[in-house]
Structures are given as structure tokens and as C-alpha cells.
A and B are shown apart, each in its own frame.
Chain A
């Protein structure tokens, strides 16, 4: 593995949820420790299974993994770190200020930015504090801060605004105001990150177009800040031998090879390693030791038992949605889980039943909306370009509100406008024009704002409810956009996920966030299921068996209703394949 060659002190693994960062970070730490180095493995994965992987309870104290030479591990829970931070700010006023005020403050501190900065705060010490880290040759992190966080930390004006004067200028640095460390310490941490002698960044991706595009974005963003020591790892590649064993495996192999061939140019320049899909679960030392070294292709593959998966199809969910005759359907989930495709499948299913449907997507590739346009009489398709919308919003804000700012104030406003919230708000504003149609027909969208954003947008939510209550008492009729989203007869949110541990946990946290805003997700949809595709190849059977545990968790712990959508041999483009995806059973003639 190239990324393990002459490794520097700090190794960061980054990539979206479910690509296998934690497994690769663990395997790396084991390999280095067994080569005689003293290694500290740091996990900030909210779903950290490092303890489970090694069979040791770890938690927030550095813990020796005695089974492996000089390996130590530490789990930082970013949610807990954010909660501790909130308690520090809000705790002293609880019971002293009105409850509505306290809740409002907590919401302000509940965004993704707070969690990320709180996590960064937690591991700053590991990058700078020599007393804690002097003992270790290598510190391996299964995560990395985003470019947005690092850039904010680099802006001097962000600090002068917040920490010194305490006047408050930046949105995303807000959380830092209550953090205890000194500016110099954050600065030292950022310097360590940008020092190629000390830090190596390993981008982890799957051989999928969307995953590779995202890796290319992360690469460019972090390289621009000075993290130039970058490596690429493509994880979970299906070996060629499997392709001969069943048609689905052959299709997956072809698709992965095509995605690799189309790797974005920016990534081609990076040293790259391929890690093949393994026929075993990546739990326990023996399994992890083998992850980064070649194993015989058919080691101890699955027992070959056929998969028994009894789960509702998407078509069955659509039966219930169709009953209302109109309404808003929003698909929500992390990037890369297939929201756009499933939105199209839901729209086609509804239109196929003769119902009027408007499908509106933010699909960057646009091919989906093009193939569907005009294909069914009562289906209209429109597309919103997230980049164009965000750009328009940014320009508008800078031209109007930024006009009077000095150069430093302007650079801070510009960085604030690069926060993930900005795109979410800009896209949602564009969509909200179309939402009004949902009174007469179905409107299906492949995106939804997070609960946190809704609460901030609805900052006067309490006021809205008050108005509504008073009007109700007088027999008046009044609804706010927020009330429309909270009413499950008018709006159905479908949470999209994959049958893997991290994506399921990510969806659960989106659900918790929506619930905070008074929105109950109507159903969960598990996409790209191999189990639902009835594979024969041993490797795919193994993965299918692993999926069953996640499907059960969704069905019993998380979802009020759910559906499972199989992984198809062909890309689900066009009406017939979208109907196939939904599990649509054609009526016998």
C-alpha cells in the first residue's frame, strides 16, 4: 500500500459515511504498531465501532489495545462534545431565563457546524500538546476537518471578531466563542495540518461516480489550504473473479471499472491504492490484519445460504402515498444514497397510476430529468441547479449586505457564505416556489432541508404558532410553510439510506433532527440493497447477509414504515427500469 510508505506522524482518513474509513484506519494502526511503532488511533466517528473491532471498551480515555504491541485508542464522540459545549453555555441560565429562550439558544448551537467545531476542538490538543502525544510515533485519525472549518480558523478577522472583542461576527465560528482554548493553539493545529512533513491525508472512496466526485472536491478544497500530502484509497472493489459467478456481480464489476476509468483528473495525479472487497466481516484483529494485504480470493466466503428477505417494496409505499391524491413528497438523506433516482421512481410510480405529478430535482448530471421529460403524460419534470442557485444567493448577499464592509469583514462574510447551510437554504428557497403546487397535484423533490435549518428559518416559529393559535380561536384559517411540512397529510418525508452501519446511523440522526422541528419522517427507504437483488456470488452473498442486520434495525428501531429497493444490474434510467426499481408488479393481461 502506497499510503503506508514512510508515513509521517499524523495520518488522517477522510471520505463520506460508509466508505470504510474506520476499518482502514484501524488496519493501518495495527500494521504500524506491529512494525514496532507506538501508535495512537483516534476515532471521531459518532458510530465509532473501534471498541467493537478490537473487543475492548475504549471511550474518551486513551486505552491500550493490549492484543497489539504498542497500540492505543481513543474515541471522541462529536455529538457528546457538542452537547458538553451546549451545557457549558446554556447550563448556567437554565431555570433563570424563560424556557422558550433557553430552547432557542440550544437550537442555535445544534447545527452541524457546532458539532464539527466541537470535534475539532477536542482533537486540537492531539495535534499540538506535546505532553499528551510525545509518547507516540504516529497518530491515526479516522476523520479530517472540512475545508470550511480550517478556512474559518485561518481568517484572522474571525478571531478578532469573536474571541477577543466578543462582538460576534461570523456564523460558523459562533460555537468557538465558548471554547476554552487559545487562538494560538488552534493556529498551531492548523499549521500542523498544512505541514506535509507531519501530516498525510488519505482520501477514501468507493468506485462510484458520486463518491469519486466528492473525493475530488475534498481533494481540491484541502489542497488549497496547504494539505498537499494526499493519497487516494479505493475501498471495497469487487474482484474480477467474482464477475464470472453471477450476472449481478458482473454488472457491479463493469460499473466499478467504468467509474474508475472516469476518475476525475484531479485525483489521477494522487498515489492510489485499491483495496478489494473481502469475504469476511471487518471485525476483530485477524480480519483487520488481512484488510491491507492480499488474501486468496475465495478465502472463507459465506456459507452460500440463500438470502431470505421479506420487506415491502417502494411500490407498496407509493400505494399509501397515492391515496391522498396530492401532496408534497420529499426525499432526504446524505449525499450518494440515491435520492434523485428514488424521487424519480416515486414520481413515475404515481404518474403511472394516472395521478398528476411534478418531479423536481437538484440532480447535477441532469440526465435523469432529461430521460423522463415527456415520457408520461401527467408527469412534469423540472430541475434546479444547486450551484447556480447558491451562486445567485451569494452574489445577492454580497452585493446588498456586503457592500459596506471593509476588506476583512467581506472576506469573513464570503467564508460564511461557503458554509453547507448556505447551499441548503439557497436550494430550498428555489424549491419552495414549486411547493405551492402541492395543493392540487403531487410534488416530488429529491431534497429537504434539515430540521436545524428549518428551525432557524422559522426563527419566529413560536410567533407563528402563537398567531395560528389566536386565529384558530377566532375560527380563522392560517398556515405557515413550517406547518405544511409538519402535517403528514400534506407532506411526506422519505428518509433514504443504505443497508450499512454508518449510513443507517446518519439517517437516524437526520430523523432526530427533523423530529426536533416537529416533523416525523413518514417512511425509510433502503436503497441499493444486494440482499433484495438475490445474488449468487459468494462475496455478494456475504455482503447481503451483513445487510440483514441493518434492515432489521431500520424496520424495528427507526422507521414507522419502510421499503427496500434492490441494486439493479443496469443504471435505473427511464420509465421501465424505474418501475422495476420500485418493485412494480405488472398486471397480468
Chain B
């Protein structure tokens, strides 16, 4: 099984409510993560403000931060290798990494059961 690791910037909240504007990409991405998990992906998220140790202990992530700074986050690793940086992946990209057909998402996100625990 593929392991996808997402290293988030130090947002005070993943929805960014405290910022000037709520980041829509984050809100949608949370839904995509749930979808990918339901399709068998193993996904871990790390928030720089809350789990900085995870950033420091991974040499790829640490090197990335030293080179490009925190402004360049998020960083996405698939099985430990850099897959994407600077933006969140689309559902199609997640599907490619996990190796499932995106058609499986025909149920569409949103609605009650696209989410967490209905």
C-alpha cells in the first residue's frame, strides 16, 4: 500500500479561519483525503505548528525547509519521495498515487457521507 505524507504549513487551523481569508483549497483537500482513505490509501498529515518534530526528523522534509523555507509548504511525499510541493494535490493526483480509478469517486464529494462520520 502506498503511504502518502502531507506536511502542512504552520496554520493556526487547517481551514485557515484565523487568516485573512479561509483557504478553500484546504477545505476541499480535507474532503479529498477522506475519499482517498476510503479507497485504501494510507495518509498522514503533519501540521508544522503542532508536530514540528515530524518535519525535523525526516531528512527530505528538513532539507526542503532549509532550501525553500516554510512559504514553500505544503510538501507531499509518496513512499518517502517528493511527489508535489507548494500546493495541495487534486483528487486525480491522489488517485494516481494510490492507484485507484478516479471514477470510483462518482459518488461526489460533499453531502453528508463524503465527510467523516455519518
Question: Which residues on A are within 8 Å of B, measured CB to CB?
Answer: 89-90, 92-93, 96-98, 100-102, 104-105, 108-109, 111, 157, 160, 166-172, 174, 177-178, 397, 400-409, 413, 416-417, 419, 421-422, 425, 429, 456-457, 459-460, 462-463
Contact status B15-A421, CB under 8 Å: no
**B69: which A residues are within 8 A, CB to CB?**
98, 100-101, 462
Contact status A97-B50, CB under 8 Å: no
Contact status A100-B70, CB under 8 Å: yes
Of the residues A166, A170, A397, A408, contact of B115 by C-beta under 8 Å: A408
**A177: which B residues are within 8 A, CB to CB?**
47, 50
Contact status A97-B14, CB under 8 Å: no
Chain B positions 1-40 with a Cβ under 8 Å from a chain A Cβ: 8, 10-15, 17-20, 22-24, 27-28, 30-31, 33
Residue B83 lies at the interface, judged by CB distance under 8 Å to chain A: no
Q: List 20 A-B contacts (CB under 8 A).
A: A89-B49, A89-B52, A92-B53, A101-B10, A108-B49, A111-B18, A166-B51, A167-B14, A168-B13, A168-B50, A169-B14, A174-B12, A174-B13, A177-B50, A397-B22, A406-B114, A408-B116, A409-B30, A419-B18, A429-B20
Contact status B12-A97, CB under 8 Å: no
Contact status A96-B18, CB under 8 Å: no
Chain B positions 63-118 with a Cβ under 8 Å from a chain A Cβ: 65-66, 69-71, 109-118
How far is A296 from B30 in the complex, measured between Cα atoms in Å?
66
Residue B48 lies at the interface, judged by CB distance under 8 Å to chain A: yes
How far is A109 from B12 in the complex, measured between Cα atoms in Å?
8
A400/B22 contact (C-beta < 8 A), A104-B70, A407-B112 known = yes
How far is A397 from B111 in the complex, measured between Cα atoms in Å?
18
Closest 7 CB pairs of A and B: A171-B13, A406-B115, A108-B49, A401-B22, A96-B56, A93-B52, A404-B110
Q: Which residue of A lies closest to B109 (CB)?
A: A404
How far is A170 from B50 in the complex, measured between Cα atoms in Å?
12
A90/B52 contact (C-beta < 8 A), A98-B69, A456-B12 known = yes
**B49: which A residues are within 8 A, CB to CB?**
89, 104-105, 108-109, 174
Contact status A169-B56, CB under 8 Å: no
How far is A251 from B116 in the complex, measured between Cα atoms in Å?
61
How far is A409 from B111 in the complex, measured between Cα atoms in Å?
12
How far is A403 from B71 in the complex, measured between Cα atoms in Å?
28
Q: Which residue of A lies closest to B49 (CB)?
A: A108
**B27: which A residues are within 8 A, CB to CB?**
401-402, 404-405
A160/B117 contact (C-beta < 8 A), A108-B12, A177-B50 known = yes
A168/B62 contact (C-beta < 8 A), A406-B114, A406-B115, A421-B18 known = no
Of the residues B11, B24, B55, B109, contact of A400 by C-beta under 8 Å: B24
A97/B62 contact (C-beta < 8 A), A174-B49, A406-B118, A460-B71 known = yes
Contact status B24-A409, CB under 8 Å: no
How far is A229 from B112 in the complex, measured between Cα atoms in Å?
38
How far is A92 from B51 in the complex, measured between Cα atoms in Å?
10
Contact status B110-A105, CB under 8 Å: no
How far is A459 from B18 in the complex, measured between Cα atoms in Å?
11
Contact status B17-A417, CB under 8 Å: yes
**A413: which B residues are within 8 A, CB to CB?**
15, 17
Given A171-B18, A405-B27, 10 more A-B residue pairs with CB atoms under 8 Å apart are: A98-B70, A108-B49, A111-B12, A168-B47, A169-B13, A169-B30, A174-B12, A409-B116, A413-B17, A416-B17
**A404: which B residues are within 8 A, CB to CB?**
27-28, 31, 109-110, 114
Q: Which residue of B lies closest to A90 (CB)?
A: B52
How far is A168 from B29 in the complex, measured between Cα atoms in Å?
13
How far is A198 from B54 in the complex, measured between Cα atoms in Å?
43
A400 to chain B, nearest CB (A): 7
Contact status B70-A171, CB under 8 Å: no
Contact status B50-A178, CB under 8 Å: yes
B105 to chain A, nearest CB (A): 14
Pick the most buried of B19, B66, B110: most chain A CB atoms within 10 A of its CB.
B19
Contact status B14-A168, CB under 8 Å: yes
**A409: which B residues are within 8 A, CB to CB?**
30, 115-116
**A160: which B residues are within 8 A, CB to CB?**
116-117
B39 to chain A, nearest CB (A): 17
Contact status B71-A92, CB under 8 Å: no
Of the residues A98, A157, A174, A401, contact of B24 by C-beta under 8 Å: A401
**A111: which B residues are within 8 A, CB to CB?**
12, 18
How far is A457 from B17 in the complex, measured between Cα atoms in Å?
11
**A429: which B residues are within 8 A, CB to CB?**
20
Contact status B30-A105, CB under 8 Å: no
A102 to chain B, nearest CB (A): 8
**B51: which A residues are within 8 A, CB to CB?**
166
A168 to chain B, nearest CB (A): 5
Contact status A97-B15, CB under 8 Å: no
A561 to chain B, nearest CB (A): 33
Contact status B50-A174, CB under 8 Å: yes
How far is A397 from B23 in the complex, measured between Cα atoms in Å?
10
How far is A407 from B17 in the complex, measured between Cα atoms in Å?
17
Q: Which residue of B lies closest to A422 (CB)?
A: B17
**A89: which B residues are within 8 A, CB to CB?**
49-50, 52
A398 to chain B, nearest CB (A): 9
B50 to chain A, nearest CB (A): 5
Of the residues B13, B23, B55, B115, contact of A405 by C-beta under 8 Å: B115
Contact status A97-B18, CB under 8 Å: no
**A170: which B residues are within 8 A, CB to CB?**
13
How far is A457 from B11 in the complex, measured between Cα atoms in Å?
11
A104/B22 contact (C-beta < 8 A), A167-B45, A168-B47 known = no
How far is A102 from B62 in the complex, measured between Cα atoms in Å?
12
Contact status B50-A406, CB under 8 Å: no
How far is A425 from B17 in the complex, measured between Cα atoms in Å?
10
Contact status A169-B17, CB under 8 Å: no
How far is A168 from B8 in the complex, measured between Cα atoms in Å?
10
How far is A168 from B51 in the complex, measured between Cα atoms in Å?
11
A463/B15 contact (C-beta < 8 A), A89-B52, A406-B114, A408-B115 known = no
How far is A104 from B55 in the complex, measured between Cα atoms in Å?
14
